[in-house]
């Protein structure tokens, strides 16, 4: 299942688009939660909320974050949250969150 978040009902802000979390991004969130929850379920929940919120904030001005030059797929942008990287594409009608991975990972080898 792919999670979508968009502008609130009745929102007419011209710069807002829908945000779609790809299945790999949702799988990444699950893996991140599993890893962090081994030490602290509360911290895991807080981190996942922060990552999801940061992804949803891309509904406005998604192009403000840089193109990720170290990713093989042209046009992929990167938003850093703590030590994590949210990788996404901007389309005319939506933003697609592709992956959410540790920022120290070799992104050139990452499958998107």
Domains of the chain: which residue ranges?
A: 18-109
Give the tens place of pLDDT for each residue, 4-49.
555 444 554 567 899 999 999 999 999 999 999 999 999 999 999 9
Q: Give pLDDT, residue 52.
A: 98
**Class level of CATH domain 18-109:** alpha beta
First to last CA, the chain: 17
- The H or E element that residue 88 is part of is strand 84-90
Q: What is the pTM of this model?
A: 0.85
- The H or E element that residue 106 is part of is none
Give the tens place of pLDDT for each residue, 69-88.
888 888 999 999 999 999 99
**Lowest-confidence pick of 3-12, 52-61, 101-110:** 3-12
């Amino acid at each position: 299942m792919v999670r979508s978040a968009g502008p609130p009902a009745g929102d007419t802000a011209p710069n807002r688009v829908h945000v779609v979390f790809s299945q790999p991004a949702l799988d990444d969130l699950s893996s991140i939660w599993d890893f962090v929850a081994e030490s602290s379920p509360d911290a895991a929940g807080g981190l996942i909320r922060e990552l999801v919120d940061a992804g949803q904030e891309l509904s406005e001005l998604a192009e403000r974050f840089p193109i990720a030059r170290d990713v093989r797929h042209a046009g992929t942008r990167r938003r850093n949250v703590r030590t994590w990287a949210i990788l996404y594409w901007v389309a005319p009608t939506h933003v697609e969150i592709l992956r959410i991975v540790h920022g120290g990972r070799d992104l050139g080898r990452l499958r998107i």
